[in-house]
Amino acid sequence: MVHGLAQPLGGGIRIFSKLGLGTNVELWLPEAAGSPLQPLTIRRGGPSSPIHRGKTLLVDDEEVVRIHTAHMLDEIGFEVIEASSAEAALAALDNLSDLTLLVTDHLMPGMDGVELSKRVQALRPTLPCLIISGYADVERVAPDLQRLNKPFKVEVLQRMLAEMNLATQ
C-alpha cells in the first residue's frame, strides 16, 4: 500500500530485514518544489477561483484526505459540502437540490462509495459521480462509474472533471 502511494508521486520504498536484527524501512519522496505549504484554510462560503462551477458533495471518511480534496475542488471553482460517511451524505442530499457533482471515496466503513453512487444516481439520475480510490486496481472498481486513483494532483482532478464536462483544463 505504501508503494502504491509513493510510486505515483515519483518516490519509492526500500525494506531491509535481517533475522534477529530487525527491519529498516526507507520511504523516499521527491523534494517539494517552491516554498513550504501554509496551513490549509477552506473557504466554506464559495470557491476561491473566480469561476464558479457548481456545488460538490465530497464524501471521505479520512479527514486529512477529505480536507485536501476539498481544497483542490475549491481551487478548480467548486463550492464543497463535506460528509464523513455515505450515510451522512445521503441525509444531506435532501437539502442540496442544486448539487452539481458527487465525489466519494471508494472504501469507507458502512456503505462504500460504489453503493453510495448507485443510490444517489437512483435519486438523481443526471448527477455525475466520481469514485476516488487508493487501490492500484481502480479499473475494476465499478467500471460503469468515473474513477480516479489516489493520490492525485489538482491538474489530474481538473482533467478528469473536464472529461466529465464539469471543468475546463
Domain membership of residue 97 (yes or no) is yes
Q: What is the CATH number of the domain that holds 113?
A: 3.40.50.2300
84 plus 154 within the same structural domain: yes
Domain membership of residue 48 (yes or no) is no
How many Cβ atoms sit within 10 Å of the Cβ of residue 97?
Answer: 8
Domain membership of residue 99 (yes or no) is yes
Domain membership of residue 25 (yes or no) is yes
The whole domain housing 16 covers 1-30
Q: How many domains does the chain have?
A: 2
d(CA 118, CA 69): 21
Confidence (pLDDT) at 30? 79
59 plus 136 within the same structural domain: yes
> Which string of DSSP letters, residue by residue, matches 110-141?
SS-HHHHHHHHHHH-TT--EEEEESSTTGGGS
User: Which parts of the chain sit beneath pLDDT 50?
Assistant: 37-48
| pLDDT tens-digit map of 141-154 | 677 888 898 888 99
76 plus 136 within the same structural domain: yes
Angle at 104 between CA 167 and CA 100, to 5 degrees: 40
Confidence (pLDDT) at 145? 84
Task: With beta carbons less than 8 A apart as the criterion, state whether 54 and 80 touch.
Answer: no
Domain membership of residue 40 (yes or no) is no
Q: Is the pTM of this model over 0.75?
A: no
